Structure 1
Amino acid sequence: MTTESKKKKITVLGGGMAALSAVHELTDYPGWKDRYEITVYQIGWRLGGKTATGRGNCNRIEEHGIHILQGWYDTTFRLLRDVYKERKTNNLAPDSPLQDLFKDGLKRNNTTLMTDFDVETGKWTNWPLIFPQLEDLPGDGEPLSTWELIEKGIAMMLEIALGSPYRKGINPISKWILDHYFPSNGEGGLSEPKKKSFLERVIEFFISKKTQIEQFHQEKYDGLVESLDITKNKTDSAAYHRLTKALGILRKIVGIIEKRELKLMGKRPALKRINLMIALAYYNLKGVLEDVYDPRSEKFDFNRINDIDYREWLRKQGAPDWVVFSVVVRFFYTGTFANLVNEKGGAIGAGTALEFFTKSVGYKGSFVFQFVYGTGDVMVMPMYEVLKNRGVEFKFFQEIKQIHYSDTGAIQKISLAEQVKLNGATYDPVKKIGDLNAWPSVPNYEQIDPGYAKRLIDGQVNLEDPWANWTNYQDGTLNLGVDFDEVILGIPIGTLKTICSEIIEKQSKWKLMVDNVLTTPTISSQLWFLPKLKELGFELAAWGLPEEGGAPNVVVYQNPMYSWLDSSLVLPNEDWPAGQKPEFLAYFTGPLTLRAPLPPFTDHNFQKKETQRLIDSFEQWLNDNAGWFWPKGATETYPQGLDFQLLADPENNKDGFSRFVNQYFRANVRPTDHYTLSVPNSHKYRLKTDQSGFSNLFMCGDWIDFGANVGYIDGAIQSGLQAGQALRLKLGLGNHKVIWR
């Protein structure tokens, strides 16, 4: 199979990270060019899907939402490290400021802030989480085993309970223990005790000083430490018996808490947090050992409890409301955009929530890595450069209309439309910003036929918007045996009802999948401020953060913009005019509740109306809430709000509202932009990459059954690797790398 005529033609539909990962996997083995050729079809002018980035006015970075990489995304980091290595080896971007992933493209952030609303006082309270910084880096070495993750998870709960070493007025002894085990100023490494484990020393501290856990007797301490010392014997059966012993000890401690300390917790926040984390450790461990782990097969199966909501499952374990509705449990729902699914506080499968949390404690390096440039700059553009250099063909401005059903058992035809007429045969998507290759927020109009370019500019048409008032250049078809032999579908599930309607009508498993794997629109906004964060009245120490190395990453109480992140680190890579150079940049995100089902694509003003709804609601949100974070940014008119005159504006408008409107807003109502939810009982309707029902159609995306089945970048990439390997196996190829799950 060495001649051009015998090569298999692989068509990839979509250019998000799942599809790009599938392409990377397909081309990551010697001799692939002798066996197949690959063409990627992408709507619009850029790649990245929900991680796409555009450079707009002043070359400001405009994101789909808040994007970070967490230190337990081993699959993602392994892929990116390989991409950067190959990019450098082949000298693909020799002058780019992005040469090393960790040194140039990412910055550690070990801080997260959870905020809670105290009903009794009517005020918000802050709970800073400072995660230990570790020496090893993600993507290097396999993830921890489930037993190791459980042990580390219990230790992590105690770390969270301890609070912040940077809060003012902290007890000197507590500060010593925290400084010993937490990074100094967000930059140090984790100190390893010479003789005793981390967990042993923390518990010993509480016992010896008789602080919050006075009822925790010495014999219970000795037994708990012994039962959690999994390093002595790593066999599954031994670990199971030790954790069962630990569960019995935790049960006695929780009994003491619920009997003697509940009345004190309202007046002593530190005690409340410690007791909450101990109780959560107990109820989760109890449920895992009873409902998830099978001691006969020695296997964990989180899907066994995915037919029930996580809060309902906690109640089933006997957890009281002060645990079930705690800020930590709420974090599970907000972290997966599931908190507004219903009017009961959200919905997420218990197994998905538990597995997601269990995996997260196995982070390496830092808990969070922020992008120094745009997500598309750091992650998507290097992928494109490497894949293009490998010989992959990219076709932009290709709108997929229909993957036609066929009763032959193989996809025979795909209908698509070419959105614009190009000046040349190909389109170069790159925008040069100095020596950096970036993605523009609008197409490179000079490469488009002048007539079509003028129509796009005059009509302010967004070719990624399915409701856009636009007539495509020409329709076309891809045919089996001529244009493709194999197909990888990497387009999000929200679009399948449109582009796979024939298949859904004929195959019940497809209909069950699109009806039961739910999605939600999201919203995001970016605010550029002229003053620095401190000048707005945000005192890092008062919030329990270090003065350096701890950018606020805040999960707030108030919906819908429940999360904001200090993203000021990207500002040196933007080009603002003199007098309007921002000193602080805040990214906001949250879920969007639709008032009605999505309208037909003939409603050309729908996207505009939803964006305006976002602007209006966010203006009110800021007027009601911003003063809590930035008290010096408020006005007399809105003492809890925000003075819009403090916002940077390229046009330097005089009135505050115009400055506000010139910030960046995204209402992600497009079906391709929706976040994939993990509602209870939906896991059974997900299809694996090779379960499409067609011999030549493979699927990838965080909506398929890839394993953990929660919407996050690492899962999307895992699904892409699975699609690539499944297709290669069909072609009789193997010796694949292990896919970490």
Structure 2
Amino acid sequence: MSEPVKKKIAILGGGVSALTSAFCLASQPGAAERYEITVYSIGWRLGGKCATGRNPDFGNRIEEHGIHGFLGSYYNTLSMMTEVYRLLDRPKDMPLATFEQAFYPVDSILCWEFRDYRWINWPLSMPRNDLKPWEPESLPTLQHWIKALVEFLGKRLDHAAGTVPSTFLEFTLARGLFNKLAAEADKIAAGEGGPLLKAIDDFWLWFKKHVEALVEKNDALRHLYITLDYFLTMIRGIIKDDVINKGFDQLDDENFSDWFARHGGSMLTISSPLSLNTPNLSYQYPDGDTTRPPAMAAGAYLHWTLREFAYLGSFGWLFAAGTGDTVVAPLYLLLKRLGVKFELFHKVREITTGTQGVGEIVFDVQATVKDGARGYDPLVDLPLAKFGGKTLPVWPDRPHYDQLVEGEAMQAAGVDLESYWTPWKPVAEKRLRAGEGFDTVICAISIGALPILAPQLMQANPKWPPMVEAIKTVQTQTLQIWMNRTLKDMGLPFEYKNYDRLIGATFVNPIDGVADFTDLIPMETWPAQQTPQSLLYFSGATPQYGLQPPFSDHDYPKREYARVKYQAQQYLQACMGALLPKSVTNAVNPPGDMIGFDFSQLVCLQNDAATVGVARLEQQFWKPNIDPTERYVTSPPGSTKHRLKAWESGFANLVIAGDWIYTGLNVGSFEGACMGGKLAAHAVDPAAVPLDKVYGYPLSQGPKMENL
């Protein structure tokens, strides 16, 4: 009896969507008998925008593409990673053996206001709830999200009773009115938005009358005013625009700030850090230019923000090691066990059309593996003192040159195989033909690369060019600094109730995001006498001036690295006094700069007489994210209607995946990429991922039979 013919699935790209689609298909019962799945990826590691590298020259420190973590509203991602760790079933004494060890909750963020020519800290503490991160069915609908948001606001109002002077707020009466509002929120599930709308207006009219004139001189009261105005305006607009029945997409031709203004939000609120948090963290600046106002589709903004506060367990879930160590490596190891094949060093050069759809995929093979039968082993087992020397599989920041035929020459040349501007020439060409090398292609390569890799597809399907034109991508930048003093010693205010760490935004552009990842230092291997005491990550958008140069301009990455380094230096010199007041030169080694960072606080392993002052920045980590596949996907007004669904490529044997396709969420993110991967798996095999298991996806946007 002959063996059943397996369906050959070629997955292009090594990012979150690619790995998610592979997981959804390969983890199904009997998948090994039905599918032959191969993931093709550029370079020596997986992860895409979430790739991590360990640098052995600096204590095996973690080097990231940016600030990464999970929100408690990442329903799809959290449930997937729970299942990954369950199936991986690591030994109990191994680092990051379980989901609970690999991810930990975070309950607060810290924003800043700039008022009266001074920076004002604005801590936000989010109360935990009893929901479990592996139970996404706990908050299945928009009605549930609204109710969760009203409960959150009630807790904020209760918290304000202890921080706002009683002369400013007649709390008992205010709470009574809000209780009526909360009671009406239950009716929205039955489509009765009118009573809730009236309760909102009654409460808000009373609240404004009693406190609006007082917010200028009281920070706590102003923050409460903005918080209530922000979220109640959001709920009011959702009811008036009938989002429950008509969905979020109807709003996406309008900019978020215009939508808020149309529904009565004050300019104080619209311009506040609370309002700008979403577009800042998702780089929603035209062409990456932070000197211009952010622009974001209103529906995508509302969907993201409303979900953000309807969280499972905690507001956020952060990683116990790097993103690559905590998320990507476990996925890779599990997929290998499930029979998925990986072809690293395979850079897609072109995707061509054929008689039935995609005809051929052409790869530039970047390197030859010495032991072809065994294959390339990409990970490193890193011993960690924190776990008694037990090892954790991690991704290196460079290829294993000893496993590659061309490794010695590659190392001597110092080339970056992940860069489109690399001078390194491919060592071979590989062609996969439809019906031979693949039956179905899942293209999980970011939209920024499609015009380069798929010009024939762009020409054959008239929907592709407007999609690529409407869904803009922007460059981003990241900076990581390891310091020899604690954040508390450098002046970070820790006196706030329930404030547990620094995670903030809306500070100073273009580097407008900052996060405290000091807890990762024990997951690195620094010398005992030079172990850092604190670690900060920064990120932001970067404007692109003119057209990107051709890939033959091999010095372009160097120029962009220099630009990011210069911006990082300027940021530290201009802004650290507001962030960490005791980190400035005048506080560390007076007399000196009263607002600028004292660079002697940076940890430098290669320390000599020349490593003084700003020269110490050279041994930190910064990166421009300029490649077509690593540029951030934005959500500008008018773009949603041009997003194609996973099953709408227009080619019979091609499925598309990524945070750039239509996911219902439609915001560039780990969660959006995970949803894109699940939707691609659904397009390949609807039984593998039923559409109602893509949590947050509008079922009304399911595939028509002709698309499957």
SS of aligned partner of 1:615: helix
Please, which moves more after superposition, 565-574 or 153-162?
153-162
Q: Which residue of 1 aligns with 2:382?
A: 433
Tell me the amino acid that sits aligned with residue 368 of structure 1: G
Which residues of 2 match residues 74-93 of structure 1 at below 5 A?
74-88=75-89
Q: Which residue of 2 aligns with 1:170?
A: none
Q: Which residue of 2 aligns with 1:445?
A: 401
Aligned equivalent of 2:142, options 133, 140, 146:
146
1:5 deviates by 6.2
Q: TM-score, normalised by structure 1?
A: 0.87
Which residues of 2 match residues 474-623 of structure 1 at below 5 A?
474-541=428-495, 544=496, 546=498, 550-623=500-573
- CA distances 1:182-224 after superposition (whole Å, capped 9, x unpaired): xxxxxxxxxxxxxxxxxxxxxxxx9xx954344x895x86565
SS of aligned partner of 2:504: strand
Q: Which residue of 2 aligns with 1:25?
A: 24
Q: Which residue of 1 aligns with 2:117?
A: 122
Please, which moves more after superposition, 147-156 or 364-373?
147-156
Distance in 1 (alpha carbons) for counterparts of 2:689 and 2:418? 37
Aligned equivalent of 2:237, options 287, 300, 311:
287
Q: Which residue of 2 aligns with 1:365?
A: 313
Distance in 1 (alpha carbons) for counterparts of 2:185 and 2:579? 44
Q: Is the 8 A contact 1:72 1:361 kept in 2?
A: yes
Count of residues in correspondence between the two structures: 675
Q: Which residue of 1 aligns with 2:324?
A: 376
Distance in 1 (alpha carbons) for counterparts of 2:157 and 2:176? 20
Q: Which residue of 2 aligns with 1:657?
A: 614
Q: State whether structure 2 residue 130 is matched by structure 1 residue 135.
A: yes
1:580 deviates by 1.7
Q: Is the 8 A contact 1:161 1:277 kept in 2?
A: no
Which residues of 2 match residues 301-380 of structure 1 at below 5 A?
301-339=247-285, 341=288, 343-380=291-328
Unaligned runs of 5+ in 1: 165-172, 176-205
Please, which moves more after superposition, 335-344 or 644-653?
335-344
SS of aligned partner of 1:399: strand
Q: Is the 8 A contact 2:4 2:33 kept in 1?
A: no
Q: Which residue of 2 aligns with 1:202?
A: none
- CA distances 1:675-729 after superposition (whole Å, capped 9, x unpaired): 1101101000000000000111001100000111011111111111111121014
1:291 deviates by 1.3
Q: Which residue of 2 aligns with 1:671?
A: 628
Distance in 2 (alpha carbons) for counterparts of 1:4 and 1:657? 66
SS of aligned partner of 1:585: strand
Distance in 1 (alpha carbons) for counterparts of 2:262 and 2:223? 22
CA shift in 2, pair 1:3/1:245, >3 Å = farther
Aligned equivalent of 2:593, options 635, 638, 646:
638
Q: Which residue of 2 aligns with 1:111?
A: 108
Aligned equivalent of 1:402, options 347, 350, 360:
350
Tell me the amino acid that sits aligned with residue 43 of structure 1: I
Q: Is the 8 A contact 1:527 1:586 kept in 2?
A: yes
Q: State whether structure 2 residue 236 is matched by structure 1 residue 299.
A: no
1:734 deviates by 7.7
Unaligned runs of 5+ in 2: 384-390, 586-590, 697-708
SS of aligned partner of 1:96: coil
Distance in 1 (alpha carbons) for counterparts of 2:213 and 2:691? 57
- CA distances 1:12-71 after superposition (whole Å, capped 9, x unpaired): 001111111101111122112222210110110111111111100221111111111111
1:234 deviates by 6.9
1:458 deviates by 1.6
Q: TM-score, normalised by structure 2?
A: 0.91
Which residues of 2 match residues 33-112 of structure 1 at below 5 A?
33-56=32-55, 57=57, 58-88=59-89, 96-102=94-100, 104-112=101-109
CA shift in 2, pair 1:99/1:87, >3 Å = same
CA shift in 2, pair 1:559/1:276, >3 Å = same
- CA distances 1:493-525 after superposition (whole Å, capped 9, x unpaired): 111110111211232200011110011111111
1:606 deviates by 0.8
Percent identity reads 30
Q: Which residue of 2 aligns with 1:703?
A: 660
Distance in 1 (alpha carbons) for counterparts of 2:592 and 2:166? 49
CA shift in 2, pair 1:686/1:141, >3 Å = closer
1:318 deviates by 3.2
Q: Which residue of 1 aligns with 2:182?
A: 228
Q: State whether structure 2 residue 683 is matched by structure 1 residue 716.
A: no
Please, which moves more after superposition, 666-675 or 335-344?
335-344
Tell me the amino acid that sits aligned with residue 291 of structure 1: D
Distance in 1 (alpha carbons) for counterparts of 2:184 and 2:333? 45
Tell me the amino acid that sits aligned with residue 612 of structure 2: D
1:412 deviates by 1.2
- CA distances 1:568-623 after superposition (whole Å, capped 9, x unpaired): 11111111124321010111111111122211111101111101111011101111
Q: Which residue of 2 aligns with 1:181?
A: none
Tell me the amino acid that sits aligned with residue 694 of structure 2: I
CA shift in 2, pair 1:227/1:577, >3 Å = closer
Q: Is the 8 A contact 2:106 2:317 kept in 1?
A: yes
Tell me the amino acid that sits aligned with residue 585 of structure 1: L
CA shift in 2, pair 1:448/1:631, >3 Å = same
SS of aligned partner of 2:680: helix
Distance in 2 (alpha carbons) for counterparts of 1:585 and 1:726? 42
Q: Is the 8 A contact 1:14 1:491 kept in 2?
A: yes
